[in-house]
Amino acid sequence: MKLFRCPVCHSSIHLDQLVADEAGRQLLGVMAKLNYRMGPALVSYLAMFRPPKQDLSNAKALNLATDTLALTTNHAVLAEALQDTVSALHASRHNAPAKQLTNHNYLKKVLAAKLGEAAVKATGTTVEIKHQATLSKEAEQAAFEERMKLLGGNIYGKVPNDSK
């Protein structure tokens, strides 16, 4: 069954050829379930694994796709990380010869950074690290007593005598 013409080479694309093997059918099923942002981002990322002078096999593409989708359940962040990874790799390959990716390590770094940003954005908080100098036991006790006096608290656990 002829679907359409390839926009690059103008050859006909047939559905029966796309699903000729089991891996091709499974890959098509995986891709069909993805949303409009995740699908193209994943396809662009998978292209980074293609050897320079040959095509990526359906079995390899399926393994890579399932491994990539297993990295997180947050598909919005994953799609953004995939796009950033592909953009960075294209920029680095601009002047150098293209080498295929062999693992997901760079994507994992980008994804970890993105998930960290997403967690901070979701909570709406910022993390501030303050350097705290260590005080001697006497200085710590004096600071405690000073603070308790300001707050009107009982320093030594004694009940004040109100009888007059």
Q: What is the pTM of this model?
A: 0.65
User: Residue 10: left if φ>0, alpha if ψ -120 to 50, beta else—which one?
Assistant: left
Query: Which parts of the chain register pLDDT below 50?
Result: 120, 122-131, 164
The CA distance from 144 to 142, in Å, is 5
Q: Is the dihedral of CA 85, 35, 102, 112 positive or negative?
A: positive
The CA distance from 83 to 42, in Å, is 8
Q: Where are the beta strands (DSSP E) in the chain?
A: 2-5, 12-14
Read off the pLDDT of residues 61-82 as tens digits, 9 standing for 90 and up.
999 999 999 988 888 999 999 9
Residue type (1 letter), 146: E
